[in-house]
């Protein structure tokens, strides 16, 4: 690892800002797609066509990139940057040939894969989905090479460049959508998406050339590094594909529901992903580093304290926000998507899915934190096993709930699976690092009382203002919802303060100390650690 003047906090903060910007652009991207194409069987076919190559096959590429990082780190430590540069061409060329073969196989198997993934589609929609899938399959080449480039740049300390891939993808797709609109239908959308994915790869090439990489065509299939990465990537791939498998299961079930259900599920998950992305970026990136440092120092008492305080902070932030979003699910989706080809009926369908997705927000965040702590303890087996259990829970709950709740049942199944597995992982973590004294029954009761009172007030205010809300334009609607959210959060903070919730005061104190850099739990030696870009 390369260490220079940039502090870990600075790098993490910049990466967080970049990720936030990428998420916002992704949000804008989905708004454009919803506006131009709406939610119908043609868009359903598009989303299924993206699911097969991007979800089922791209996970292997991501796992290979993840496996490369520790191997390349050893090469850098023992032989220096020049040795890595010497291996870049071979890695890219061999991987390109492997991915090309997989692409050709995938194109041939597309009809059968679509029948499995979308069993509820009619013949016309299934045929369209199959042809779109065949056009989309080359994306795994761009994605796979992009993951390899990301791994190389991160090992060389170029974190900023590799974090820009999301922005490149979203900007290219937004520009193409603005310029061409829906003139070419879902075929155009498929080509635009493929071009945007290619941009993720291309943007990482200039910094690599700057570092001394000279493109060449020499291939060595016996490269030990490639073989070692392949062996390492399989267990990583199993653990990293859990969420993707759940997405596939949900879309399979949604294909048998009313027209537009796959699209509505996708739009709802993208809005939900905005919140999960922000929390996972702002919290887990930092905590993983801290957890790993405590483990390397064998400071398990500090690990336990930091872990439970992170869990506490997440609960105090996420649960009240989830309560507000559940109450305001329909107006949030309406403000974001309802325009152009996206009808009011599409809003109701998407809002139903979003409402039940939000219930699982706390489960997602707690799972991510606990998973990072397990990884810091060099335990990748436990998260993998729990991930498999999550898929089993999701499938069982889907089969039960979809019959009575439709698309809402699919979203609720995912949320309940997240919550169940996060509780199970927290219990397993407690057995390893011990329990916590951070929580008291009195504080928990006051906390839930504060959330409940806030929820009642927000619901009451929204109901009273609904007559005014329905008659207003989009800008005024946005202002009304923003005021309700800010009022709810302000009331929650006020209630936690007057109820004298001790765990809330601990969180506020910790945040203030971190912000002003006053003994916020960071030792002086930690400040020495830094990365460069």
pLDDT digits (tens, 9 = 90+) for 60-91: 666 677 667 767 777 777 777 777 777 777 78
pTM here is 0.71
Written as six digits, the tokens of 236 are 């990583």
Task: Average the pLDDT over 164-181 and give the result.
Answer: 90
pLDDT for 527? 39
**Cα separations (Å) of 100 from 96, 185, 441?**
6, 27, 58
Residue 404 falls in which region: left (phi positive, over 0), alpha (psi -120 to 50) or beta: alpha
Q: Is 500 exposed, middle or buried (0-12, 13-18, 19+ CB in 10 A)?
A: exposed
Decide: 114 and 133 in contact? Cβ < 8 Å. yes
Decide: 206 and 165 in contact? Cβ < 8 Å. no
Read off the pLDDT band of 56 (50, 70, 90): low
The terminus-to-terminus CA distance of the chain in angstroms comes to 12
Task: Average the pLDDT over 99-104 and give the result.
Answer: 90
Decide: 39 and 263 in contact? Cβ < 8 Å. yes
pLDDT for 269? 84
pLDDT for 242? 67
pLDDT for 11? 61
Q: Write out pLDDT tens, residues 190-202.
A: 999 999 999 999 9
Q: What is the full DSSP assignment across 119-168?
A: TT--HHHHHHHHHHHHHHTTHHHHHHHHHHHHHHHHHTT-HHHHHTHHHH
In the predicted model, what is the mean pLDDT of the chain? 80
Read off the pLDDT band of 234 (50, 70, 90): low
- Please list the helix, strand and coil fractions of the chain in percent, rounded to the nearest 5, in that order: 85, 0, 15
pLDDT for 532? 35
Q: How many CB atoms lie within 10 A of CB 157?
A: 19
**Cα separations (Å) of 10 from 5, 15, 22, 483, 518?**
10, 9, 18, 32, 17
Helix (H, G, I), strand (E, B) or coil at 339: coil
Asked if residue 6 has pLDDT above 70, the reply is no
- What kind and span of H or E run contains 207? helix 205-210
Q: Write out pLDDT tens, residues 457-480.
A: 999 988 888 777 777 777 888 888
Decide: 169 and 197 in contact? Cβ < 8 Å. yes
- 162 versus 450: which is more confidently predicted? 450
Task: Average the pLDDT over 224-247 and give the result.
Answer: 68
Q: Which sign does the torsion angle of CA 240, 243, 246, 248 carry?
A: negative
pLDDT for 520? 43
pLDDT for 80? 73
pLDDT for 531? 31
């Amino acid at each position: 690892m390369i260490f220079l003047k940039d502090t870990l906090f600075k790098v993490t903060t910049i990466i967080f800002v970049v990720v936030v910007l990428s998420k916002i652009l992704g949000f804008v991207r989905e708004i454009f797609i919803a506006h131009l194409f709406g939610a119908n069987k043609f868009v359903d076919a598009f989303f299924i066509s993206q699911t097969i190559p991007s979800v089922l096959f791209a996970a292997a590429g991501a796992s290979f990139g993840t496996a490369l990082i520790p191997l390349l780190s050893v090469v850098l430590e023992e032989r220096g940057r020049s040795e890595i540069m010497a291996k870049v061409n071979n890695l890219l060329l061999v991987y390109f040939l492997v991915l090309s073969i997989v692409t050709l196989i995938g194109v041939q198997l597309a009809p059968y894969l679509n029948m499995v993934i979308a069993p509820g589609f009619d013949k016309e929609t299934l045929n369209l989905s199959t042809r779109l899938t065949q056009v989309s399959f080359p994306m795994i080449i761009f994605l796979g090479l992009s993951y390899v480039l990301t791994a190389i740049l991160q090992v060389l300390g170029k974190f900023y460049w590799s974090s820009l891939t999301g922005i490149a993808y979203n900007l290219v797709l937004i520009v193409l959508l603005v310029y061409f609109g829906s003139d070419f239908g879902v075929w155009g959308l498929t080509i635009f998406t493929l071009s945007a994915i290619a941009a993720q790869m291309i943007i990482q090439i200039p910094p690599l050339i700057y570092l001394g990489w000279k493109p060449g065509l020499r291939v060595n299939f016996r490269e030990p590094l490639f073989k070692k990465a392949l062996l390492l990537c399989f267990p990583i791939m199993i653990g990293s594909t859990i969420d993707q498998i759940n997405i596939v299961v949900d879309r399979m079930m949604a294909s048998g529901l009313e027209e537009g259900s796959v699209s509505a599920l996708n739009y709802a998950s993208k809005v939900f992903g905005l919140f999960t992305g922000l929390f996972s970026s702002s919290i887990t990136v930092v905590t993983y580093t801290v957890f790993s440092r405590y483990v390397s120092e064998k400071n398990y008492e500090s690990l336990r304290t930091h872990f439970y305080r992170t869990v506490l902070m997440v609960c105090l932030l996420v649960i009240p926000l989830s309560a507000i979003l559940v109450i305001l699910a329909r107006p949030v989706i309406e403000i974001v998507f309802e325009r152009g080809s996206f009808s009011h009926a599409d809003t109701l369908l998407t809002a139903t899915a979003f409402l039940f997705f939000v219930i699982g927000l706390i489960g997602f965040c707690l799972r991510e934190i606990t998973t990072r702590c397990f990884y810091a303890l060099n335990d990748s087996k436990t998260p993998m096993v729990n991930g498999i259990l999550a898929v089993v829970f999701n499938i069982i709950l889907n089969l039960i709930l979809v019959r009575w709740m439709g698309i809402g049942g699919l979203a609720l199944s995912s949320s309940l699976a997240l919550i169940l597995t996060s509780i199970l992982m927290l219990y397993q973590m407690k057995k390893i690092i011990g329990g916590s004294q951070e929580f008291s029954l009195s504080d928990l009761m006051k906390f839930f009382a504060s959330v409940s009172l806030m929820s009642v007030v927000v619901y009451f205010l929204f109901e009273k203002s609904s007559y005014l809300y329905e008659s207003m334009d989009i800008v005024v609607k946005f202002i009304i919802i923003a005021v309700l959210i800010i009022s709810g959060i302000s009331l929650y903070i006020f209630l936690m303060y007057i109820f004298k919730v001790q765990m809330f005061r601990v969180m506020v104190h910790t945040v203030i100390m971190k912000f002003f850099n006053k003994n916020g739990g960071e030792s002086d030696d930690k400040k020495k650690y830094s990365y460069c870009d």
